[in-house]
Structure 1
Amino acid sequence: MADFSDDELLSELGIDLAPVKSVTYTAKEERLISGFEEIIHFYEEHKRVPSNSIDTDIFERIYAVRLGQLKQSDEAKKLLAAFDHLNLLSDSDNEEADLASLEDDDLLAELGIELEDEENIFVLQNVRTQKEREANELTATRKVCEDFEIFKELFEQIAKELELGLRITKPFGKDASIELHDWFILDGQIVYVSEIGEYFKAPNGENDARLRVIYSNGTESDLLMRSLKKALNNDKASRRILVANNVGPLFSSFKSNDHSNELEIKSGTIYILRSLSDNPFIKKHKDIIHKIGVTTGKVNKRITDAKNDATYLLADVELVAAYGLPENVVPHKLEKLIHKVFQAAQLDISIDDRFGIPVQPKEWFLVPIDVINEVIEHIKNGTIENVIYDPEQSKLVGNQ
């Protein structure tokens, strides 16, 4: 075998020894490349180009607008040619990225695009530099929430409670905290903090943590707590969802006279349900048939499978009202007091469960909602044991 020098051997193997030319980009070009790489990432994850349709989230709409502008710039296409292995910048018509309706400057501004000059393509907002994107602790990606069915009932319940006035919204304060199971409205969507990871010190010295945040459109994100705070502060229409004043905590003056088992004392919720059964009698008297109960768990979980539970008359139910309890009340004892007040109006009905066994639900009463509200007031001021419901007069009377 002939002797070869190192350079000759590498040449025979087809390895180019010419020095690699380093490419230096300007800050504008870096942002342009970084923004295009986010579009590529979206395409690879969702197998489609981003759409600007009204039912997509704000991030996808930003990508759609950005892609449309890039396609209209020869300078941008030349710069990004080496990165466009998916041919996203081709001139072929694509309904998903059609920007014909995006001439309105206000809409573009809403999407984070500022049309300041002819080079507006280089002043795109919401585009991070490569260094920013590599800072993992500051990044988070929205993705489809695979187990959204678990959360769907929660979102529907929150929407229902907002409609009923059981929950209210207030602006998110600049220095407000974010806790586990908090609810917000952000970018027009209901947002739920379902998980909080381990806390750590952020560069500014404040406590931070990675969150699992679920959105009402069926997506989720693993953003940092400070990132969510920033987003809520930047969105002037953002709101915190809170329990309304009439939902608790209440009963500040009510205390059980029985202190024999202090370990049982814990917070709970009084809930009032109305049946959606097709049973002729129940349907006819729907407005005065109510289930009144007290639970230490979440009401929405209790009623999720109501149509398969004889306790709920084998039918779906709707939440009429809910009242939070403080920690000085024993839930099951309070429930007994309430049921005692309405004992004379207890619904006498028998329902066969799914096994054909007859069940007589005990928590349903033929009583108007306004009378139930009166009982709530008696609980508040500690006089519930002094009243009882008289079905003949349809009102509360003194308990002799």
Structure 2
Amino acid sequence: MADMNDDELLDALGVEVTPLKASSRTPREERIIAGFEDILRFHQAHGRAPLHGEERDIFERLCAVRLDQLRKLPEAKTLLAGLDSPGLLAGVATTSANVDDLDEDALLAELGIGHEPADQNDITVLRHVRSSTEKRAAEEIADRTSCADFDKFESLFEQVERELKSGIRITLRFGRDTSIANGNYFIVGGQLAYVAETGETIKAPNGESDARLRVIYANGTESNLLRRSLQRALYKDDTGRRLTDPDMGPLFGDAPEPDDIETGTIYVLRSLSNHPFIAEHRELIHKIGVTGGKVETRITGAEKDATYLLADVEVVATYKLHNLNRTRLENIFHRLFGAAQLDLTIEDRFGHPVKPREWFLVPLHVIDEAVLRIRGGSITEVVYNPTTARLVDPKT
């Protein structure tokens, strides 16, 4: 038997040798079938088709991507007809990728069915496809392009910046459930952003509503990104903020806030100090404040308080207001008249140097005008010019 070859040995043992049939399928078809068989195994184990979603394990999400792509592959239904007893290929693709724009090679690459060696084509290895984390990051950053009609928006950004400086608008931390709509302003990635347009509502892969936005940035660029992507970017950004609307609500709104007072008074004081500079400019130097109590009580003992320049004061004007926010209102005056703040240092009762705040070189009639503009909501349209002692349009 040592002299027998393999065929003779098998014949002596009574083993019939049948030539192996060469496969009629191409390597690509074999790989498509192998990938679909993994999807079938998932269906048999779970009783349903694989689904997309961040809460799903990586294998299910990979199977879901492959199934969506196979549904778009022209030859797949014919090739897999005998295997697809559950009717998986008859479903609707839910991936956001536009597979209709891919040629055959690119589509196979999305499936991980390229021309790699067979040992590199395991169904759990998704080749040529970015991870969902990478896709979300790219979507949230969104390629920004130059805004061709930025001249339409430039004045809006200038207005908003003035409103922020004057206190008419404030910035708030962006919450997970904060809504985004046309006309909203945000700070994202250190840039002031304006939502100029919102497209038609679409369904996201997780079933929730979404829409494509046109977002304009203060640096003259724009991006076209999904609303949910902007929400995620703002929420994850430690410096991400939303801007409040300039409807005077923060000052005179109906809903009370922690620093609101039911009825308050804006008061304007004039110092009776005999300090040479104050005496020379007495008709121009005024202190502007806000109180929820009586003005008379507030100024009691002024001659002993460095805040009042260690001298008696006279009340030259008062304005009654309702449902106002004291801190924000004071900030408006400080920002509006900041360039005219009195730069004067005096010594308190103990000989310590003190630089009082809330005193401004502003005529009384200009303060009157400012209060009227605050009440009417037009304070953001002007700035104070110390040279001319007038409220002026910053564009002129």
Same fold by TM-score, threshold 0.5 exceeded? no
The higher radius of gyration belongs to 2
**Alignment TM-score, normalising by the size of structure 1:** 0.35
